[in-house]
Structure 1
Amino acid sequence: MYRTAIFDVDGTLIDSERAVLCSLQKMLNDDYGRYYDLKELHFVLGIPGAAALPRLGIYDIPQASEKWNSYMKDFSATVGVFRGMTKVLAYLAYRDVKTGIVTSKTKAELVTDFAPFGLMKYLFFIVCADDTIKHKPEPEPVLKFLEIANADRQSSIYIGDTEYDLQCARSAGVDFGLALWGSKTPALEASHKFVRPDEILPLFF
Structure 2
Amino acid sequence: MLFPLSPPSPDHVRLSLRPLTLSDEARFRAVIFDLDGTLLHSVPSLTRVLNALFAEEGLAPLDEAQVCAMVGEGAGLLVARAYGARAVGSGTPEDPGHSGRVARFMACYGADPVSGATLYPGAAETLQHMAGRGVRLGLCTNKPEGPTRALLEAFALAPLLGAVIAGDTLPWRKPDPRPLLATLERLDVPPGEVLFVGDSAIDVACARNAGVPVVVLAHGYRQGPVEALGADRAFQGFDDLMPWLAKVAPGDRA
> 1:176: which partner in 2?
214
**Which one of 45, 53, 58 corresponds to residue 33 of structure 1?**
58
CA contact 2:162–2:186 (8 Å) conserved in 1:
no
Match for 1:35: what amino acid? A
Distance in 2 separating the partners of 1:71 and 1:90: 25
Match for 2:38: what amino acid? T
Q: What's the offset of the Cα at 1:114?
A: 3.1
* 2:29 pairs with 1:3: yes
> 1:62: which partner in 2?
103
Structure showing greater radius of gyration is 2
CA contact 1:88–1:201 (8 Å) conserved in 2:
no
TM-score of the two chains, using structure 1 as the length reference: 0.86
Distance in 2 separating the partners of 1:52 and 1:5: 27
The alignment yields a C-alpha RMSD, in angstroms, of 2.1
CA deviations on 1:91-123 (whole Å, 9 max, x unpaired) are: 211221110100122221123333211011111
Distance in 2 separating the partners of 1:152 and 1:35: 48
**Shift in CA distance, 12/150, structure 1 to aligned 2, threshold 3 Å:** same
Q: What's the offset of the Cα at 1:80?
A: 1.8
TM-score of the two chains, using structure 2 as the length reference: 0.71
Distance in 1 separating the partners of 2:56 and 2:166: 27
CA deviations on 1:41-95 (whole Å, 9 max, x unpaired) are: 334322211233234433312233212444756xx1x322222222211121122
Local SS of the residue matching 1:131: coil
Q: What's the offset of the Cα at 1:26?
A: 3.2
CA contact 2:149–2:158 (8 Å) conserved in 1:
no
How many residue pairs are counted as aligned between the two chains? 201
**Which one of 149, 162, 169 corresponds to residue 111 of structure 1?**
149
Gaps of 5+ in 2: 1-26, 90-97
* 2:192 pairs with 1:192: no
CA contact 2:176–2:209 (8 Å) conserved in 1:
yes
Q: What's the offset of the Cα at 1:183?
A: 4.2
**Shift in CA distance, 30/68, structure 1 to aligned 2, threshold 3 Å:** farther
CA contact 1:53–1:59 (8 Å) conserved in 2:
no
Distance in 2 separating the partners of 1:115 and 1:99: 15
> 1:151: which partner in 2?
189
> 2:12: which partner in 1?
none
**Which one of 134, 139, 145 corresponds to residue 101 of structure 1?**
139
**Shift in CA distance, 143/32, structure 1 to aligned 2, threshold 3 Å:** farther
* 2:248 pairs with 1:203: yes
Local SS of the residue matching 1:178: strand
Distance in 2 separating the partners of 1:36 and 1:163: 27
Q: What's the offset of the Cα at 1:158?
A: 1.1
Distance in 2 separating the partners of 1:71 and 1:112: 9
Distance in 2 separating the partners of 1:98 and 1:107: 20
CA contact 1:12–1:182 (8 Å) conserved in 2:
yes
Q: From the two aligned structures, give the one with the greater helix fraction.
A: 1
Match for 2:178: what amino acid? E
> 1:22: which partner in 2?
48
Q: What's the offset of the Cα at 1:21?
A: 2.6
